[in-house]
Structure 1
Amino acid sequence: MKKNLTFAVAAIVLLAGCVTKGTYNELKDEYQGYRDQAEERERTNQAAISDLEKALADEHTRYDQLAAEQARLESRIEALNAEKAKLLTDKKGLQAAEAEMREALNEMMQRKAQAEARIAEYTNLLQRFKALIDAGKLTVKIIDGQMVVQLATDVLFASGSADLSRGGKDAITEVTTILASIPDRSFQVAGHTDNVPIHSSRYRSNWELAFDRAITVVRTMMDGGMPSPRISATSYGEFRPTASNDTDEGKARNRRIEIIVVPDLSKLPGAEELEKLGGHES
């Protein structure tokens, strides 16, 4: 981008001698606008990358904590085994304690493995979306422990409309190709708006507008190859803002589509027991 802007400046300088001053100033202003846009995209990309790097650092910290806890439990088991040799009269109690510690150790090892898997998944998905992030088409964030792909609706939809623009369809199709290639994952499309009320013949509130937009994205993703059992839609309307609605910039950030990577709760420790208690249907 910077190289292209440099060529643009050179072109302006060469043409300055054969154009009017007004034309020259217009070209100069246009160049400055391109440059400002490029710098703004760079800042947005860096902020998204910083958020992801922080989330990965947090996962590494949790991983280290689990490793330390595993070492402590292993040390405790060794101590119990030594004590077992001395306390033969309390053999039953010692065996029960050892079994409890082994169960705790197994659970801790499961959590450690899950932490490793989350780190690998975040890193992999970040790499898959790197080109789209660098192009300013989307951002990827960690929100409430979930990976979320965010797309500004101003790029996807006209104001007050739930019909995707041509560029919006292309962007959703490109995102779908990446997400559909991730095995054993489901996704939820969430529609968000700013707090400006809408009263049209088609939409009574921002709830309906945001939901229609989410449904449109879901249908486009299905057309792009996403299996229907892996995708769902919801609407938050104006009630889950990501920025203040006091400024135009904040409103623009709140007008968005989020594609949430739904976590697989069946892999959490104790999931089988919870399914039995809840009468899980196979």
Structure 2
Amino acid sequence: MKKLMVMSVSALLVLSSCVSKKQYAELEAKQKETQDLLNTATVKLNSCLSDKAAADARVAAMQEQVADLRKSNDNLQVLSAKGASNVEKTLESLKEKDLKITRLQDALTKKDSVTLAIVTSLKKAVGINDPDIEINVEKGVVFISIADKLLFQSGSYNVSTRAKEILDKVATVVKSKPNFECMVEAHTDNVPYQKGVLLDNWDLSVKRATSVVRVLEDLGVNSAQLVAAGRSYYVPLVDNNTAENRAKNRRTRIVVMPKIDQFYEMVEEEMKNLSAESN
């Protein structure tokens, strides 16, 4: 640009010596117009350079954003893959739990069905028709309650002859079910008792239970199936406030318990598994 200005001035000097004042004025005006155009072009050029710099900065920023977006997209794809994997694992875990719950329900249903069949069979097999003998089924267990007067003389723990006939039927049922347990549970009233070597009602109730157990053994029941238990007067059926009520409380209860441990163990194992997996 400086070179152009020098040439212009030189041309004016040369021409000024060769041209008239009118021509000189025209050339000078033309030079001014050219200079103005040059200045305008310079301003526009500087403006364009500034715009280009701004545009380059925007392009660089956008390129950074694109790079960040690509990186984020890659991360999202990784997270999406992990999320899908986690969902699959969760669904698989739910399927396993559903299977365990189904097995648990099947076990409970099977246990209930077997128990119902067992207690129904027992009630029919015992089949004793006597107002002093009650047969009840509670929670899958058969309770045969025998009044004290049918088993023992007053204050005695020696089993009566008639009682042995009753116990023979019970023994027949228990012997046919080798996987059953038979607990003999003796109860007394609250009248203080002390006779011979027996100190109190605890001693009397336990001695009566063991006497019945021995009769069942003599009738062929496996000793490993038998349990002797004395409850003294602490589990009365009614208040011990009359002779009639005390007679009701003096009783021996034979509890026939089917061994369904395999079902309970399976249920407990499934419950433990479900509990462990939920933690």
Would you say same fold, with TM above 0.5? yes
Q: CA deviation at 1:190?
A: 0.8
Q: Give unmatched runs, 5+ long, in structure 2.
A: 1-83, 272-279
- The question of 1:138 aligning with 2:133 is answered yes
Q: CA deviation at 1:121?
A: 1.5
Other-structure match for 1:226: 221
Other-structure match for 2:174: 179
Partners of 2:207 and 2:138 in 1: how far apart?
23
- The question of 1:123 aligning with 2:125 is answered no
- Counting only pairs closer than 5 Å after superposition, residues 161-240 of structure 1 correspond to structure 2 as 161-240=156-235
Other-structure match for 1:26: none
Identical-pair percentage: 27
* Contact in 1 for aligned 2:115/2:258 (Cα 8 Å): no
Q: When the two structures are superposed, what TM-score results if normalisation uses the length of structure 1?
A: 0.61
Secondary structure in 2 aligned to 1:226? Answer: coil
Secondary structure in 1 aligned to 2:231? Answer: strand
Secondary structure in 2 aligned to 1:196? Answer: coil
* Contact in 2 for aligned 1:191/1:211 (Cα 8 Å): yes
Rate the CA distance shift 1:266–1:242 in 2: closer, same or farther, 3 A.
farther
Deviations 1:244-275 (A, max 9, x none): 2122222111111111123533421345689x
- The question of 1:107 aligning with 2:104 is answered yes
Partners of 2:235 and 2:229 in 1: how far apart?
12
Deviating more after overlay: 170-179 vs 212-221: 170-179
Q: CA deviation at 1:143?
A: 4.4
Q: CA deviation at 1:135?
A: 3.5
Partners of 1:257 and 1:193 in 2: how far apart?
9
Select 1:98's aligned residue among 95, 99, 105. Answer: 95
Partners of 2:269 and 2:97 in 1: how far apart?
19
* Contact in 2 for aligned 1:162/1:216 (Cα 8 Å): yes
Partners of 2:103 and 2:190 in 1: how far apart?
48
Secondary structure in 2 aligned to 1:267? Answer: helix
Q: When the two structures are superposed, what TM-score results if normalisation uses the length of structure 2?
A: 0.62
* Contact in 2 for aligned 1:192/1:255 (Cα 8 Å): yes
Q: Give unmatched runs, 5+ long, in structure 1.
A: 1-86, 275-282
One-letter amino acid matched to 1:232: V
Q: CA deviation at 1:159?
A: 0.8
Other-structure match for 1:267: 263
Q: Aligned-residue CA RMSD in angstroms?
A: 2.3
Deviations 1:14-51 (A, max 9, x none): xxxxxxxxxxxxxxxxxxxxxxxxxxxxxxxxxxxxxx
Partners of 1:222 and 1:167 in 2: how far apart?
17
Other-structure match for 2:252: 257
Partners of 1:156 and 1:267 in 2: how far apart?
36
* Contact in 1 for aligned 2:145/2:252 (Cα 8 Å): yes
* Contact in 1 for aligned 2:185/2:254 (Cα 8 Å): yes
- Counting only pairs closer than 5 Å after superposition, residues 12-91 of structure 1 correspond to structure 2 as 90-91=87-88
Rate the CA distance shift 1:144–1:202 in 2: closer, same or farther, 3 A.
farther
* Contact in 1 for aligned 2:187/2:233 (Cα 8 Å): yes
Q: Based on CA coordinates, which of the two structures has the bigger radius of gyration?
A: 2
Secondary structure in 2 aligned to 1:237? Answer: coil
Partners of 2:140 and 2:176 in 1: how far apart?
22
Deviations 1:181-219 (A, max 9, x none): 124111111111011111222321111011111001001
Q: How many equivalent pairs are there?
A: 187
Deviations 1:104-141 (A, max 9, x none): 111011101111112111211111122x1x24452112
* Contact in 2 for aligned 1:137/1:171 (Cα 8 Å): no
Other-structure match for 1:20: none
